[in-house]
Amino acid sequence: MKYTKEHEWLRVEGDLVVVGITEHAATALGDVVFVELPEPETMVSAGDEVCVIESVKAASDILAPVDGEIVAVNEALVDTPALVNEDPLGAAWFFKMKLDDLSVLDDLMDEDEYNEMIG
């Protein structure tokens, strides 16, 4: 698993990368009540705002962690936003991306580095 400074996790699954938010981020957001997902088959660049998450407290964005194509989104989050709090690392994945080159993941943090960042 790889991590971004924006508290996303990335997991390689075959030739795709699955993206979600970390438990730390889910806890900080509080109870999630709304998720807006991107359209599948969208080309995105790292840093693009691709999802909206709203908790009881506030709205925040999920940014595309790397360049690539969004090929699948997790519709279950639209009907059950609370999954983000219940299972952020599993059932609450947000989208799957196809990358030209998986080696860009090498630039991201590993678990130890991420844990160090969040202290």
Partner 1 sequence: MADELLRLGLHDLHVSLGGKMVPFAGYEMPVQYPAGVMKEHLHTRAAAGLFDVSHMGQVILRPKPGMEALALALEALMPVDVLGLAPGRQRYGLLLTPAGGIIDDLMFANRGDHFLFVVNASRKAVDIAHLTEKLAGAAEVVPVTDRALLALQGPQAEAALAAHVPVAAMRFMDVAVLPSAFGELWISRSGYTGEDGFEISVPAARAEALARALLADERVLPVGLGARDSLRLEAGLCLYGHDMDETVAPVEAGLGWAIPKLRRSGGARAAGFPGWESVLGDFEGHLHETIVGLRPEGRAPMREETHIYDGDRFVGKVTSGGFGPSVGAPIAMARLKVDVTAPGTQLTGEVRGKRLPVTVCKLPFHPTSYKR
Contact residues for partner 1, defined by CB under 8 A: 30-31, 33-34, 36, 52, 54-59, 78, 81
Of the pair 31, 100, the CB lying nearest partner 1 is at: 31
Nearer to partner 1, 52 or 99 (CB): 52
Closest CA relative to residue 68, chosen from 34, 17, 14, 1: 17
In the complex, the smallest distance separating the C-beta of residue 33 from partner 1, rounded to whole angstroms, is 4
Cα gap 91→84, rounded to integer Å: 8
Task: Supply 4's token pair.
Answer: 């971004």
User: Closer to partner 1 at the Cβ: 30 or 47?
Assistant: 30
Taking alpha carbons only, the member of 77, 100, 95 closest to residue 11 is 95
Minimum CB separation of residue 17 from partner 1 in Å reads: 25
CB of 28 to partner 1, least distance (A): 9
For partner 1, the closer CB: 69 or 85: 85
Which residue is it, tokens 């969040």? 118
**Closest approach of Cβ 101 to partner 1, in Å?**
32
Q: Using CA of residue 99, residue 103, residue 104, residue 105, what is the dihedral sign?
A: positive
